[in-house]
């Protein structure tokens, strides 16, 4: 029990108590459901069933102490190293804070419907600075951060439906990506909705990319990596930059079609950790991203659901860099992602890899989980990058 004492401080006792009671109630309800109605997905054992319910509870209540408690109870610190109380203390020398300035927009693709909004965002953002970080896993051979650059690096676009997520929250993910790929990982804190409407996020991503170039990375030394909404943003930026020949792209449960209309959205709604979207609800994340608060959804917004920047499934997917896509069969987005991969492969069957994980749910690779599939998925990401490196570095 002694390790639990590190969670308790004088100020957070009430929060801790609420988290304990919330998690306990969730666990009991989940167990009861399991006994009465069986698992939420045919492929699930009891553990996956209740872990999913606990995660849903934690996501809905946004309780940091609850997350820490859950990680301890599930004994998954080693899978989620930086969520322990030592979270903020990635060993000195292996993480560095960065400040990304704004960069002027270069020429934009003619077909980009966001051009005038992007120019306006860029104008209003002048002089602004964005918080970012660079992480290298501690036992990686690239651990020396002094020179600020290794031979290649990952730029990770975090998920969170464009309404949540931050560099700090994603530090564990950056660390995991670095551990499995051996590359240094840059994460950046783009502005979120509803405070900042689209395409502010696309402009911030653009600045992050320009900053990597300013640090000395060539386009073919940069890996784009994104989970969920981060995958959406990575694919939008790739289009905005007019398809640079990136070193590679990693898309984990990417949001590729914001119309959310394929069958898996209804079929997996009871199993996944996210539910359907409905732009007609005032608190819908997509509505917060696209519609100013208090304004109705008009035809322009409805048309945007098919915009290739927001729904890259409708983009011209020719000339994708080597791209690894991962999805799981219990995801609401599963059919969208599968169709995206089909369309991408139709352009170039040899540059797209698709990992499908039976019974996994949205973004399961990066949650503190106990199912062997999360480890397999991370290993596959590592192998994909190492294979690409071997191809390029072959004498």
Ligand X SMILES: *[C@@H]1O[C@H](CO)[C@@H](O)[C@H](O)[C@H]1NC(C)=O
Q: Which residues bind ligand X (CB under 6 A)?
A: 139, 319, 322, 345-346, 348-351
Annotated active-site residue in 228, 260, 374, 380: 228
User: Is residue 358 classed as helix, strand or coil in its secondary structure?
Assistant: coil
73 versus 346: smaller Cβ distance to ligand X: 346
The minimum distance between CB 387 and ligand X, in angstroms, equals 11
48 versus 312: smaller Cβ distance to ligand X: 312
Put the strands of the sheet holding 129-135 in their side by side order. Answer: 95-101, 129-135, 184-188, 153-157, 222-227, 248-252, 323-328, 352-357
- Nearest residue to ligand X by CB is 351
The minimum distance between CB 229 and ligand X, in angstroms, equals 25
Q: Provide the pairing of β-strand 153-157 with 129-135.
A: unpaired
- Burial of residue 27 (CB within 10 Å: 0-12, 13-18, 19+) is middle
DSSP 284-297: -HHHHHHS-TT---
Distances (CA, A) of 246 to 223, 239, 350: 6, 12, 16
The minimum distance between CB 348 and ligand X, in angstroms, equals 4
| 279/303 Cα distance (integer angstroms) | 12
The minimum distance between CB 184 and ligand X, in angstroms, equals 14
Q: Is 228 a catalytic residue?
A: yes
Cα dihedral 31, 36, 42, 48, rounded to 10, equals 0
148 versus 386: smaller Cβ distance to ligand X: 386
Q: Are 361 and 329 in contact (CB under 8 A)?
A: no
Asked if omega into 199 is within 30° of 0 (cis), the reply is yes
The minimum distance between CB 225 and ligand X, in angstroms, equals 17
25 versus 319: smaller Cβ distance to ligand X: 319
The minimum distance between CB 139 and ligand X, in angstroms, equals 4
210 versus 378: smaller Cβ distance to ligand X: 378
User: Measuring CA to CA, which residue among 178, 122, 126 is closest to residue 155?
Assistant: 178
44 versus 224: smaller Cβ distance to ligand X: 224
User: Measuring CA to CA, which residue among 121, 117, 116, 88 is closest to residue 104?
Assistant: 121
| 357/354 Cα distance (integer angstroms) | 10
Which residues are catalytically annotated?
228
């Amino acid at each position: 029990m002694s390790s639990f004492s590190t969670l308790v401080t004088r100020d957070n006792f009430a929060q801790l108590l609420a988290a304990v009671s919330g998690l306990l109630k969730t666990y009991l309800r989940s167990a009861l459901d399991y006994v009465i109605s069986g698992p939420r997905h045919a492929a699930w054992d009891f553990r996956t069933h209740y872990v999913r319910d606990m995660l849903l509870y934690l996501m809905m209540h946004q309780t940091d102490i609850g997350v820490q408690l859950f990680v301890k109870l599930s004994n998954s610190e080693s899978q989620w190293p930086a969520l322990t109380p030592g979270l903020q203390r990635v060993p000195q020398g292996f993480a560095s804070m960065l400040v990304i300035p704004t960069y002027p927009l270069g020429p934009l693709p003619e077909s980009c419907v966001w051009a005038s909004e992007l120019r306006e965002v860029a104008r209003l953002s002048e002089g602004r600075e964005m918080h970012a970080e660079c992480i290298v896993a501690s036992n990686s051979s690239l651990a020396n951060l002094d020179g600020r650059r290794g031979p290649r690096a990952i730029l990770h676009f975090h998920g969170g439906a464009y309404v949540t997520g931050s560099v700090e929250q994603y530090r564990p993910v950056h660390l995991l990506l670095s551990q499995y790929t051996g590359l240094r990982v840059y994460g950046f804190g783009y502005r979120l909705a509803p405070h900042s409407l689209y395409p502010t996020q696309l402009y911030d991503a653009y600045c992050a990319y320009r900053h990597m170039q300013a640090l000395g990375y060539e386009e073919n030394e940069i890996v784009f990596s994104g989970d969920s909404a981060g995958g959406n943003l990575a694919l939008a930026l790739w289009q905005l930059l007019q398809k640079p020949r990136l070193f590679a792209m990693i898309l984990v449960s990417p949001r590729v079609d914001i119309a959310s209309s394929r069958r898996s959205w209804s079929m997996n709604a009871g199993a996944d950790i996210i539910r359907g979207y409905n732009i007609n609800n005032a608190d819908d994340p997509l509505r917060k991203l696209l519609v100013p608060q208090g304004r109705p959804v008009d035809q322009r917004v409805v048309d945007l659901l098919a915009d290739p920047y927001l729904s890259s499934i409708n983009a011209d997917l020719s000339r994708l860099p080597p791209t690894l896509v991962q999805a799981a069969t219990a995801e609401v987005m599963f059919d969208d992602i599968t169709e995206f991969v089909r369309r991408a492969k139709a352009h170039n069957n040899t540059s797209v890899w698709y990992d499908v994980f039976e019974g996994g749910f949205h973004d399961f690779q990066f949650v503190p989980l106990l199912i062997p599939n999360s480890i397999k998925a991370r290993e596959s990401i590592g192998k994909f990058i190492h294979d690409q490196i071997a191809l390029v570095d072959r004498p």
